Amino acid sequence: MGIIELSLKDLMSAAALIIVVVIITIWQQLKLTKSIIISAIRTVIQLLAIGFILHAIFAQPKFIWVIALATVMLLVASHEAVARQKKRFSGGWNFSFSLFSLLFASFGITIFTLNIIIGAHPWYAPQYAIPLLGMVIGNTMTGISLSLNQLTQTVWQQHRIIEQRLLLGESAKQAIADIHRDSIRIGMIPSINAMAVAGIVSLPGMMTGQILAGISPIEAVKYQIMIMFILTTASSFGIMLALSLSSKRLFDERQRLRLDRLINN
């Protein structure tokens, strides 16, 4: 059986489901209507745009185009990772921490996977590099966003406890050790949950796409196992690096807590 193509009518039927969600949010007074509508519109525009871009890149698979698209993905993800934090660092530090962590974790793991695990030739082959990098960046972005939000919010709420621990002689690292660990756990929950229910509760996106494209389910499963492992690894590295950088920013060189470096978003 070949691929069943979706018509405009089919997509409109799917859009009708979003309209139902919007109606429910209005009825429940959730104040999410604007966010849902904007996000839905962005989904359509962004996916259509990336579809045309990928079509052009696949037609002429050059390294410069792959790097250009990867850079755009990295910059947008770095912004989105910190865009909805309640407390953030002043002076653009949130974006810097997110950018560096995503660059190190996502690009590092993706390049390793393309060269060592998959063995693509060339290693930047866009049909492998771009979808893989997109999944890794997206998953790592979510983990960093959740963990940074948890860290800054908890530090703000518990600053008196932290200051008391500092007065008792603890180092800055010791004073926020529990908060740091909890923030890592919060950030890693989505990846751990995804691995825990894969194949039982849900069929992950890449596996579903490959099956719909006619690839053997067994081969799709092997790819999905690889994806789940590298997503969790990249997310873990990114979260730990982002929290390490952020934790240091919360204190000055004299081990004093600097709440003035945090502002409302």
How many CB atoms sit inside 10 A of residue 48's CB?
Answer: 10
Q: Phi and psi at residue 107, in whole multiples of 5°? A: -70, -40
Name, in order, each residue with C-beta under 8 angstroms of 147's C-beta and a sequence gap of 6 or more.
Answer: 183, 184, 186, 187, 188, 239, 242, 243
Distance CA 151, CA 88 (A): 10
- Inter-residue contact 228 to 190 (CB < 8 Å): no
Pairwise pLDDT comparison (204 vs 51), residue with the higher score: 51
- Inter-residue contact 235 to 105 (CB < 8 Å): yes
Distance CA 166, CA 175 (A): 6
Cis peptide before 122 (omega within 30 of 0): yes
Distance CA 129, CA 127 (A): 6
User: 145-169 pLDDT, tens per residue?
Assistant: 999 999 989 998 898 998 899 898 8
Residue 197 in tokens:
């229910």
> What's residue 19's pLDDT?
95
User: 171-197 pLDDT, tens per residue?
Assistant: 888 998 999 999 999 999 988 988 888
Quickly state the pLDDT bin for 2 (edges 50, 70, 90).
low
Residue 260 in tokens:
């003035």
User: 210-246 pLDDT, tens per residue?
Assistant: 776 777 888 888 888 888 899 999 999 999 999 999 8
Which spans in the chain are helix H?
A: 8-27, 33-59, 63-83, 93-102, 108-112, 126-157, 159-167, 172-175, 177-197, 205-212, 217-249
User: 62-113 pLDDT, tens per residue?
Assistant: 899 999 999 999 999 998 888 877 787 877 888 888 899 999 999 999 999 9
Contacts 24+ apart (CB under 8 A), 192-197: 192/232, 194/228, 194/231, 194/232, 195/228, 195/232
Residue 245 in tokens:
């950088």
Kindly list the domain boundaries of the chain, sorted by start residue. Answer: 1-59, 62-264
Beta bridge partners of 264: 87
- Inter-residue contact 198 to 204 (CB < 8 Å): yes
